Amino acid sequence: MTKLSVNINKIATLRNARGGNRPNVLQTALDCERFGAQGITVHPRPDERHIRYQDVLDLKPAVTTEFNIEGNPTPDFIQLVLSVKPEQVTLVPDAPDAITSNAGWDTLKHKDFLVDIIAQFKEQGIRTSIFVDPDPKQVEGAALTGTDRIELYTEAYASQYLADREKAVAPYAEAAKVALQCNLGLNAGHDLDLDNLRFLKERLPNLQEVSIGHALVCDALYFGLENTIQLYLRQLNY
Ligand SMILES: CC(=O)[C@@H](O)[C@H](O)COP(=O)(O)O
Ligand SMILES: NCC(=O)COP(=O)(O)O
């Protein structure tokens, strides 16, 4: 079964907009779990535009499902993750000023760097995942870094889905096969929503986890958070 990890970045965006503590990020994470989420994902960016490092420290003792921390492995990020020891860390090659995540790793060019970073996390019992495009060569390169899993960057799938879903999913299905052949665990995320999620899951039988935030929080404005999480879980056959 594919697990749903709710990314709560945008809850923190709303909280930061007024400078107070409403919505309460910690309480929202606990409510997401109570509503059925099987994981909580956060992406503390260097400018702390939404999730702050303090949020990560506050969440760790309270989250009872899988805690997934995403980010570019800067020294500060590495220190934060090693101090918190989440169930999973997802390494993303984002530039500090990126408006959002916009590319996967070049696992061939950055192999030595990734091997070293991944080993540091695995030594502490933290599962590692690295963000990659659906390119078989990059997936094969990921296997050489020692990572436990890859996360397929699904923006291209989502942007093409309505026009031609078979064409959109094809590279991801191929990348998923290569991941299986390389004994890599498989996650996926970015721009997944209630329209495109089920088809992706059906075509990627080894998909273990999706992390979804932006669309889910937007949907919750209309359907409510509990109902929205249930709607996403239904797309994953729960
Ligand atoms: C890696 C990825 O695609 C998302 O997890 C990312 O966290 C989105 O970041 P924003 O919420 O800052 O757009
Ligand atoms: N890794 C993807 C994620 O955590 C959420 O991405 P999005 O649903 O906010 O685009």
Which residues have CB under 6 Å of ligand 2?
A: 7, 41, 70, 151, 189-192, 211-215
Structural domain boundaries in the chain: 3-235
Separation CA 184–CA 230 (nearest Å): 29
**Residue with CA at minimum distance from ligand 1 atom 11:** 9
Q: Which ligand is nearest to the CA of 6?
A: 2
Question: For position 99, what pLDDT does the model report?
Answer: 93
Point out the ligand 2 atom lying closest to the alpha carbon of residue 212: 8
Q: Confirm or deny that 164 is annotated as ligand binding.
A: no
Q: What is the mean pLDDT of each run of 10 residues along the chain (238 residues)?
A: 98 97 98 99 98 98 98 98 98 95 97 98 98 98 98 98 98 99 98 98 98 98 98 97
Please give the CATH superfamily to which domain 3-235 belongs: Aldolase class I (3.20.20.70)
Residue to probe by mutation, ligand 2, list 102, 211, 218, 232, most atoms within 8 Å of CB: 211
- Is the ipTM beyond the 0.90 threshold? yes
Residue to probe by mutation, ligand 1, list 11, 159, 190, 216, most atoms within 8 Å of CB: 190
Question: For position 101, what pLDDT does the model report?
Answer: 92
